Structure 1
Amino acid sequence: MKKRKILFLGESYRADAITWMNGLKEFGDFEIIPWELKTPNDTFYNRLLRVVEFKLAIFKIKKLIKQQQPDIVIAERTTSYGFLAALSGVKPLVIAQQGRTDLWPEKSITIPLKRIIQAYAFKKATLIHAWGPVMTLSMTEAQVDMTKVLVLPKGIDLTKFENKNTANPDKISAIVSRSLLPEYRHDIILKSFSVLNKKGMDFELTIIGDGSQLPTLKNLAKKLGIDKKVVFTGRIPNTELPELLQKSNFYISMPITEGVSASLFEAMASNCYPIVTDIPGNRSWIKHRENGQLIKLDDYNMLAEELIWSFKNSDSRAKAVLANRKFIEENADYHTNMKIIANKYHELINTSTTK
């Protein structure tokens, strides 16, 4: 039988994208052809170059399609790669919304244009991924045909993120595994640990990843006098993450916007107690002081208080981490969910070829 080809439009180096592509190879026996924009989106000059590259991208994509003859195109982010995929004319077309909404930043002057681009992508898509229920709210507002929407997380590999936590129960061993970008508010986390430090509490804080805020955050940790207790690992291979999670008893994530966080699922699977911002994307999975903590946006004092409360209430934490592991096993198992997704793609291809 001929091996089916997928053209993947998106940032193939991202952990979420790697999970998606690997799952399709493993459970769907697909050949993946990745394509992404080459210019980084980090400086004003590069953003201008990226706009030019974006305008030329559709011609490059169509040339690649002619060469490779993919059976299906999949794309992440409705307002960029999803739009390019829609312009390609290939069917079936699968688009994944990445956040609660891809219309971001919410107060940007480009939002009206992005809304038009997104509507076009939604209309042309054969299937739309909502990795969690919070994503469906903006889709409904955009009057998407919800019969095309599949609500299902990619899941995480429970054979890698095992139920084997070895953290020292006598101190706070916290981990942060989000990109070091302004919207993830690492500065709020550092300020909260400064409060703990002033109270004489023992802790260690591991901050994983890289990003534009790294130098600023290192300077802040030093200024707050906690740099000896904070470890910045930089970017690490995803294979090293499970062991670091299993050495931590708290997972902290303070984003100002959230869709579905694979890193939260990884932490829940690894028996890390989750403390996250009180926003819709996190409320889908966390109930305050039941299976984690919900913190008001940018409130480092509340974060410090809830860390202390949860550390002292070890029985409550123990029940929560057991419940979280069970939830992940039942709802976010990569082996189960990616089989469903891969089978759905084959179904779309087969339906398309018989028309």
Structure 2
Amino acid sequence: MKQPHLMVHLGFLGDGRNYHVQRWLPALSRQGLQVTLFTFRPPENGMDGVTVIPLRPPVARIRGRLSLLDFWFSGRQVRHALQEHDVDVLMASYATHYGWTGTLSRFHPVIIQTWTFDVSTYPVSGWQRFVFGPQVSAVLERADLITTDGDALSDYVRANYADVRAEVVPVRWGIDTDEIDHARESIAFRKQNNIPADAPVVVSSRGLNPVYRPMVALQALLALLENDSSVHVVVLTLEHDRDQETRDLLSRIINHQRGHVVDRFLSRTEMSELWASTDVVVSVPSTDGISEGVLEAMYAGAIPVLSDIPSNRTFLKDSVNGYFVTGDDENELASQLETIVAELKSIREGIRARNIQWVREEASLKGTAEYVARLIKGLAKKE
């Protein structure tokens, strides 16, 4: 029989080098949970309040890199580790990978933390559907609780996975508002990049992965540079791979005197400095969850211009706290950006105030951690 804990012990099965995981787990620890991370990729610098248990990837030791087979053949290893460390509740992250390993461990109660692509894209796309379709169905059917990143994805899971019996709960993790300069006091980014204090700054925030439609964003930004002599544009590549056509467009932006390409990951301080200088943030994916980068920019006062997809509709009202575009038309996007930049002074303050209030009330990391901790403690009591 398990010995009672003074604190509920959460075992989190996920990627220790993922930026989001590195924020979520310390936040849960601060809610009075004992938190242990089990991972193939331990964080390089540890996490405050979190014990890290490295897992041995059985196939990567031979092949030299992590593969799906490592997740398939680690169920027993994870089960033994969870038992050894006397875990009360398991949260397994990303249904196609650690979520599958968590299911293979046969540990209960288990929370499956879905993202977006793991349940809405890979199980229905190309050859991947033959592997991930039945796999994700099994993961969700065996879960004791399922979390998603918002109402739209919860609705999708309920509609498309008919055999799911567990409660499906939207969890918008949100942002650490203490990290964001919502007063817009910092001018460091503008100073470092020779951007005048009164010049409008438009940022493409989602990188170069094809699902984020970088060609649309880059062509629209180039058109904006040509048609507005005051605006500066910034592209965050997020170190994504790029094809030759994308490289050519990036080169044109780099070579423009008002174009800026950031081809590395920024520190948290640098991101806050960037958002403090951002007037408009652009994100036009074909499918997505709720972008925390967009939420950060909104909290810092930037006007969001987003593709009209279900996840974005859960928090953005067109012309009220941001603007929608179809996301697949660079001319439409360029025209919308030109209009916003031209009207910036008259629309900025109203949108800024509404977004700061909404993020504080609906998308703060602290508030979400409190809610998730209650869910975890509730599951532990049922056992």
**How much does 1:144 deviate?**
5.5
Q: Does 1:211 align with 2:240?
A: yes
Matched residues in 2 for 1:292 and 1:334: separation?
22
Q: Does 1:140 align with 2:158?
A: yes
Unaligned runs of 5+ in 1: 40-44
Look up the match of 1:42.
none
Q: Does 1:221 align with 2:265?
A: no
Look up the match of 1:156.
175
Q: Does 1:258 align with 2:291?
A: no
User: Is the Cα contact below 8 Å between 1:255 and 1:277 reproduced in 2?
Assistant: yes
Matches within 5 A, 1:301-316: 301-314=331-344, 315-316=346-347
Matched residues in 2 for 1:195 and 1:240: separation?
27
Residue 71 of structure 1, aligned match among 55, 66, 88: 88
What secondary structure does 1:73 align onto? strand
Structural RMSD (CA): 2.7
Matched residues in 2 for 1:336 and 1:343: separation?
11
**How much does 1:225 deviate?**
6.9
Listed one character per residue, the Cα deviations across residues 79-122 of structure 1 (whole Å, up to 9, x for unaligned) are: 22212211211111011110176242443122144222122111
Listed one character per residue, the Cα deviations across residues 133-189 of structure 1 (whole Å, up to 9, x for unaligned) are: 111222122125576122231121112224212576743212233243221222322
Letter in 2 for 1:160: E
Unaligned runs of 5+ in 2: 42-55, 58-62, 188-195
Identity %: 20
Look up the match of 2:321.
291
Matched residues in 1 for 2:67 and 2:164: separation?
31
Matched residues in 2 for 1:226 and 1:279: separation?
33
Look up the match of 1:51.
68
Look up the match of 1:91.
108
**How much does 1:308 deviate?**
0.9
Matched residues in 1 for 2:232 and 2:39: separation?
40
User: Is the Cα contact below 8 Å between 1:165 and 1:248 reproduced in 2?
Assistant: no
User: Is the Cα contact below 8 Å between 2:71 and 2:98 reproduced in 1?
Assistant: no
Matched residues in 2 for 1:262 and 1:50: separation?
27
Q: Relative to structure 1, is the Cα distance of residues 13 and 101 closer, same or farther in structure 2, using a 3 angstrom cutoff?
A: closer
Matches within 5 A, 1:57-206: 57-99=74-116, 102-105=119-122, 106-141=124-159, 142-143=161-162, 145=164, 148-165=167-184, 170-206=198-234
User: Is the Cα contact below 8 Å between 2:13 and 2:93 reproduced in 1?
Assistant: yes
Letter in 2 for 1:334: L
What secondary structure does 2:169 align onto? strand
User: Is the Cα contact below 8 Å between 2:199 and 2:230 reproduced in 1?
Assistant: yes
What secondary structure does 2:224 align onto? helix
Matched residues in 2 for 1:12 and 1:215: separation?
32
Greater relative CO, 1 or 2 (CA 8 Å, sep 6+): 1
TM-score, structure 1 as length reference: 0.87
Letter in 2 for 1:221: L
Q: Does 1:9 align with 2:39?
A: no
Matched residues in 2 for 1:150 and 1:62: separation?
25
User: Is the Cα contact below 8 Å between 1:169 and 1:249 reproduced in 2?
Assistant: no
**How much does 1:36 deviate?**
3.2
Listed one character per residue, the Cα deviations across residues 179-217 of structure 1 (whole Å, up to 9, x for unaligned) are: 432212223222112112222432222233222139864
TM-score, structure 2 as length reference: 0.82
What secondary structure does 1:6 align onto? strand
User: Is the Cα contact below 8 Å between 1:9 and 1:81 reproduced in 2?
Assistant: yes
Number of equivalent positions: 346
User: Is the Cα contact below 8 Å between 1:11 and 1:36 reproduced in 2?
Assistant: yes
**How much does 1:53 deviate?**
2.1
Q: Does 1:241 align with 2:241?
A: no
User: Is the Cα contact below 8 Å between 1:274 and 1:293 reproduced in 2?
Assistant: yes
Letter in 1 for 2:358: F
Letter in 2 for 1:102: V
Listed one character per residue, the Cα deviations across residues 300-334 of structure 1 (whole Å, up to 9, x for unaligned) are: 11111111111122322321121111111111122
